[in-house]
Structure 1
Amino acid sequence: MRKVVDVLAGYYVAPRETLELLLSAIIARGHVLFNDPPGLGKTTLAKILAKALGLNFRRIQFTPDMLPSDVIGVNVWRPHEGRFEFIRGPVFTNILLADEINRAPPKTQAALLEAMEERQVTVDGVTYKLEEPFIVLATQNPVEFRGVYPLPEAELDRFLIQLSVGYPSPGEEAEILRRRISWRGDDPSIYVKPVTNREEIIQWMQYVEAVYVDEAIIQYIVRIAQALRTHPLNAYGPSPRGSIALMKISRALALLDGRNYVAPDDVKKAAVAALAHRIAPKEGDPRDLVREVLNKTPIPY
């Protein structure tokens, strides 16, 4: 698994912790939401990740006039054969990049919900299973940008983590320019070679479920969630789904670090990404509120 992170770091300039969280979400069978302005290379990162993992990749560019059938597929009548034929949509893949998801109207956004949660889609009463693994990497522009629709809480809750790459530092931006010169093109994914395959990734997903979580770690996660729910500056806190998400990503981080048990540092490393998009502070950045609660919550052991 470390080889995958090394490949990502070799082509995409970002903090290594961000890349580790991204891969950990994949092996925890979770979907990832990127919340960043345009132009920060989120699409490039998704393509590099898919190629490094040896998985099928599809991209949807969401627009205000997009229909649900554009996402999941549609039945087409074949008059010469006297039957309907189901034409599969781009959701039938391993890694789906939902680009600028909050530019699509709510009805189209909702078309992804069943696929994300159940790994299946239903069209005209017929259910179609999606191939494992199925991971959605969605990007959204900040809500102050024009022409965007805020994602509903139900859909936000389906994302295991939310990541924000942010603008690069001067040194990082200079490195981006150097790499662009060496690539002689805008798409570095053409140089990426797979370092694993679908079968091995499914095996990693099974290993994550075997990572040991001590009772003290469980109580630590519960205290963090409870503190966020009762915080006076928070309108609402994470649901139990959020606590489960924090535990899942913590187990994946432990496995990525070569351990078969979760440590408190795994929880601290995962907390902001797993919980910040599940809360609604009355003011300020939700990530800062999660960090405040982490600093005040006693660490076990």
Structure 2
Amino acid sequence: MEDMNEHIEEGGPIIPNYTAHDIMPIRDKIKEIIDECSKVVIGQRSLVELMVTCILSEGHILLEGVPGVAKTLTAKVLAKTINSGFSRIQFTPDLMPADIIGTSIFNMKESEFVFKKGPIFSNVILIDEINRAPAKTQSALFEVMEEKQISFDGVTYQMEHPFIVIATQNPIEHEGTYRLPEAQLDRFLMKINLGYLNANQEVEILKRFKNKIGKTDLSMITPKIDGQFIKESKRILEVLHVEDQILNYIVKIVQETREHGKIYLGASPRASLGILNASKVTAVIAGRDFITPEDIQFVAPHVLNHRLILTPDAEMEGMNSVDIINDILKVIEVPR
């Protein structure tokens, strides 16, 4: 990131006269991360790219798929490419909020209660099977996911940078799952749906692991970025060039979700910001210092699909939110 530092004042904003050359270190590092994850995760290159997009946008990630499609493995591998703290929380039906954020412990020596921090106090937090826990437990994540802080017993504890939640869940129709509250879903930048691999990819998995039994060895994965890289990348992304017509295009897409006849609850302004921020990273991956409509069309389904509630009629017709989002993208006029 040495090229960036020429344009960054310590602790301050980027000097506006950055050039397209400044985005190249970010693009190269993203490629390194994707290649590093490919050592273990097969056939999920686009998934890793979307997850890296969320991380550089400092947004939280929700992965949904049936058991056995490498949701947890992908999250663990990606976390290893970041040189920062890592914590894993396995959500279960009997998990309590104190098991996540922490609790007060009586210190016999000092004769006073002290706050013992929970596993949420880390940088990259993997929450496995997040929809196995009831709403009471989910509520413990509301403040920390949005404001990156924990309030406990009248004291506010700030989270260290970076703070990113990567959560996995099984489809809601699976036994033993709870539907996540809408307010919590809205705090995830993207919900990425994982399907089954094709036959060639599955054969490749068998070939790679035919002589290995047991736990997957992740020792080969080495860190490629750290918190400082994410912070410096954010400063570059914040001043990436965005035309007014691109902003209007984002707003038209989001507003259409609020007016569509098949959607009961549309996307919030937070979704508009999410599309904008994710599109900036997508542009950088493509080697550009400006956003195009194609960037928006690529990220919009992942940013919007978990934020929409369909009408009962649409659900009875077998429609899903991704189908409706794609229909919206087809009818909204694309700026040129």
Task: Decide: shared fold, TM above 0.5.
Answer: yes
Alignment of 1:1-301 (within 5 A): 1-181=30-210, 185-281=214-310, 282-283=314-315, 284-301=319-336
After superposition, the CA RMSD in angstroms is 1.4
CA offset digits 1:125-161 (Å, max 9, x no partner): 1111111000000111111111111001000000000
TM-score (normalizing by structure 1)? 0.96
Give the conservation status (yes or no) of the 8 Å contact 2:64–2:71.
no
Q: 1:203 to 1:181 in 2, by over 3 A?
A: farther
Q: 1:184 to 1:198 in 2, by over 3 A?
A: farther
Q: 1:269 aligns to what SS in structure 2?
A: helix
Give the conservation status (yes or no) of the 8 Å contact 1:14–1:165.
no
TM-score (normalizing by structure 2)? 0.86
* Distance in 2 between residues matched to 1:228 and 1:147, nearest whole Å: 31
CA offset digits 1:95-138 (Å, max 9, x no partner): 10111111111111110111111111111111111110000001
CA offset digits 1:246-266 (Å, max 9, x no partner): 111111211222322111111
Gaps of 5+ in 1: none
Higher alpha-carbon deviation: 48-57 or 107-116: 48-57
* Distance in 2 between residues matched to 1:189 and 1:64, nearest whole Å: 29
Give the conservation status (yes or no) of the 8 Å contact 1:180–1:186.
no
Query: Offset at 1:185?
Result: 4.5
Higher alpha-carbon deviation: 85-94 or 148-157: 85-94
Query: Offset at 1:14?
Result: 3.2
CA offset digits 1:147-176 (Å, max 9, x no partner): 111001000000000001211111111112
Gaps of 5+ in 2: 1-29
* Distance in 1 between residues matched to 2:190 and 2:289, nearest whole Å: 22
> For residue 19 of structure 2, what is the aligned residue in structure 1?
none
Give the conservation status (yes or no) of the 8 Å contact 1:47–1:57.
no
- Corresponding letter in the other structure for 2:156: T
Give the conservation status (yes or no) of the 8 Å contact 2:37–2:221.
no
Query: Offset at 1:67?
Result: 0.5
Query: Offset at 1:184?
Result: 5.5
Give the conservation status (yes or no) of the 8 Å contact 1:77–1:84.
yes
Give the conservation status (yes or no) of the 8 Å contact 1:31–1:160.
yes
Query: Offset at 1:182?
Result: 5.9
After the TM superposition, list the runs of 4 or more consecutive aligned residues in structure 1 that deviate by more than 3 angstroms: 181-185
Give the conservation status (yes or no) of the 8 Å contact 1:44–1:189.
no
**How many residues are aligned here?**
301
* Distance in 2 between residues matched to 1:28 and 1:20, nearest whole Å: 12
Higher alpha-carbon deviation: 75-84 or 174-183: 174-183
* Distance in 2 between residues matched to 1:84 and 1:109, nearest whole Å: 26
Query: Offset at 1:73?
Result: 0.8
Q: 1:277 aligns to what SS in structure 2?
A: coil
* Distance in 2 between residues matched to 1:15 and 1:121, nearest whole Å: 34
Query: Offset at 1:179?
Result: 2.5
Query: Offset at 1:20?
Result: 1.2
* Distance in 2 between residues matched to 1:28 and 1:166, nearest whole Å: 24
